[in-house]
Amino acid sequence: MSAKYISTLEKPAGAPAASPAYRILVVDDDPLICQLNTEVLIAAGYHVDAAGDGDVAWDALQLINYDLLITDNNMPKVSGINLLKRIYAAQMEIRTIMATGRMPDAEFAAHPWLQPTALLLKPYTIAEILDTVEKVLNLADSTTARPLEMMEQQAPQAGMPIMALAAHAANSSRRILVVDDDDNTRQISIAVLAGSGYNVVSAQDGAAGWESLQTYDYDLVITDNKMPRMTGVEMIGKLRSANMAVPVIMATGCLPLEEFARKPWLKPEAMLERPFSNEDLLASVKNLLGTDPGNAGFQKNPVPKYL
């Protein structure tokens, strides 16, 4: 690993016992702050691990079940907000505290379901961090226990750009495949769609997407175009040749309009050219799938006998 990772599973002799003994991951690229927070929490009786950046923290989160994540935001490789996006996309059950010098307010406004359980603005005192940790770990209201529950129960009141709760429940039966070789773009799409209740699966390129399409049934495919091994257009060509009745949204930075003009049977049911908003993406998805789980709401393009 590129950054320092400290495992401190045993509390020092004489430290007070935390009941129950919660496990906390502290993430900060400032070694002094990371060490101080770790030592303070160990002294309070918690089991604490520390990571020097978001990338190392993500590795740790996939290996260990933590009760609480305390993270800075501005960090190399993976920022705190991007770490929250990964956690949300993976539907990890973990409470979070963002402790940073400048809050990513614009990100929270655009994606309110990423809002952590609590916020701490630097500089904060030892008493403030201990009090915040205690309150977060002993929440009586379970609606803030994890990002998914926060999204489901609080997002409509917070102005989250999703359908009504009835449609949200209906969407859960809709399976969408997101195909994109850009990790950040793919994760944001997953978060937006999952936040609207859709069942989302992802693939890192066209070849992996095509393999997934041959294995599982999907209601919709959202794909980039320029990807290694197999482009989006090539994947659509395979779909058409196999007569797979699944609508496609091509979401990419440069739409291959000339190729669609020459081969109109490859034209997807909808197209989005980057940059586009989350609302644009959701509107396109809703237009194709509708709100009735039993109605796909699209007409398949004609497929020639030979491509």
Q: Which residues pair with 177 in a beta bridge?
A: 201, 221
Pair 141, 236 in one domain: no
Backbone angle region of 13, left / alpha / beta, with phi > 0 → left and psi within -120 to 50 → alpha: beta
pLDDT reading at 106 higher than 70: yes
**pLDDT at position 172:** 55
pLDDT reading at 173 higher than 70: no
Q: Which residue has the higher pLDDT, 3 or 160?
A: 3
What are the distances in angstroms from CA 121 to CA 26, 98, 100, 102? 15, 8, 5, 7
**pLDDT at position 261:** 92
**pLDDT at position 61:** 93
**pLDDT at position 249:** 96
**pLDDT at position 171:** 55
Pair 71, 182 in one domain: no
N-terminal to C-terminal alpha carbon distance within the chain: 47
117 part of a folded domain = yes
**pLDDT at position 158:** 29
In this prediction, residue 214 has a pLDDT band, given cuts at 50, 70 and 90, of: confident
Mean pLDDT of 90-100: 90
Q: Which residue has the higher pLDDT, 291 or 74?
A: 74
Q: What is the dihedral of CA 3, 112, 150, 33, to 10 degrees?
A: 30
Pair 237, 109 in one domain: no
Q: Strands 23-27 and 47-51: what pairing?
A: parallel
**pLDDT at position 293:** 37
Radius of gyration of the chain from its Cα atoms, rounded to whole angstroms: 22
Across the chain, what does the average pLDDT equal?
Answer: 77
Pair 12, 72 in one domain: yes
At 5, phi and psi to the nearest 5?
Answer: -125, 125
Pair 78, 16 in one domain: yes
Cis amide leading into 147 (omega within 30): no
For 34, the domain range is: 5-154
Of 154, 184, 219, the residue at which a domain comes to its end is 154
| Element containing residue 47 per DSSP (H, E) | strand 47-51
Mean pLDDT of 5-32: 63
Pair 238, 140 in one domain: no
**pLDDT at position 139:** 61
299 part of a folded domain = no
Q: Which residues pair with 70 in a beta bridge?
A: 26, 97
| Both structure tokens of 112 | 């309110």
Mean pLDDT lowest for which of 47-56, 131-140, 152-161?
A: 152-161
Q: Strands 47-51 and 5-8: what pairing?
A: antiparallel
Mean pLDDT lowest for which of 147-151, 171-175, 195-199?
A: 147-151
| Number of domains into which the chain is organized | 2
pLDDT reading at 259 higher than 80: yes
**pLDDT at position 297:** 40
Q: How far apart are CA 128 and CA 38, in angstroms?
A: 14
What is the percent of the chain where pLDDT is above 70?
Answer: 77
pLDDT reading at 279 higher than 90: no
**pLDDT at position 306:** 28
Mean pLDDT lowest for which of 55-69, 127-141, 233-247?
A: 127-141
pLDDT reading at 191 higher than 60: yes
